[in-house]
Amino acid sequence: MAGKRPLTILGLGNILLGDEGFGVHFVRWFARRHRLPPEVDLVDGGTMGYVLLDTLCNCEAMIVVDCLKAADTPGSLYRFDRRELEARLPAPTSAHEVKFADVLCKAEMMGECPEITFLCIVPERYGEMDLEMTATMKDRFPAMEALLMAELEARRIATEAVDA
């Protein structure tokens, strides 16, 4: 694991689809509020598909912030490890429609998949073109922040507050 980052925080989502962009909007919001140590990367992964393979393979651990389509109250938060989440995901598709699960599968085949924790939120609206997230999702930023901060504390990683 020489040369690998100890931790990468990755926000996923499509900002063109409103609530589905939560992970990206959240990491941008988090970056305006917290300064992380230099050995921790905070990455806006958007919908980059296989481009994320390098990011995934070059860290020892990763925290992924994303939406989870589930039959639950919008704004509900979940924490999963990789095995728990994989049980909820569909099988990998093809290179024409790359999802993060496909990238995980490829990293695992290469023997390069890091320890991963998923912090997920149930979107209010799913699959609708909209550059704005719903108020429900925006209001959940502090709750997701608390979840992420608990993960960082468990790893003994301290952040500095950024003066606004």
**pLDDT at residue 103, as a whole number:** 80
Distance of CA 96 to the CA centre of its chain: 22
Q: 47-91, pLDDT tens digit by residue? A: 777 788 889 889 999 999 999 888 899 999 999 887 777 666 555
CATH number at residue 118: 3.40.50.1450
Cα atoms in the 13 Å half-sphere on the side-chain side of 47: 12
For residue 88, the SS3 value is: coil
Q: Which domain holds residue 12?
A: 7-159
Is the residue at 1 inside a domain?
no
What does the alpha-carbon distance between residue 128 and residue 19 come to, in Å, rounded to a whole number? Answer: 9
Is the residue at 81 inside a domain?
yes
Count the domains in the chain: 1
Is the residue at 99 inside a domain?
yes
Q: 102-156, pLDDT tens digit by residue? A: 787 888 888 888 889 999 999 999 888 988 999 999 999 999 999 999 999 999 9
Is the residue at 148 inside a domain?
yes
Q: Between the CA of residue 97 and those of 46, 106, 126, 139, 163, what are the distances in Å?
A: 14, 14, 18, 31, 41
Beta bridge partners of 10: 43, 64
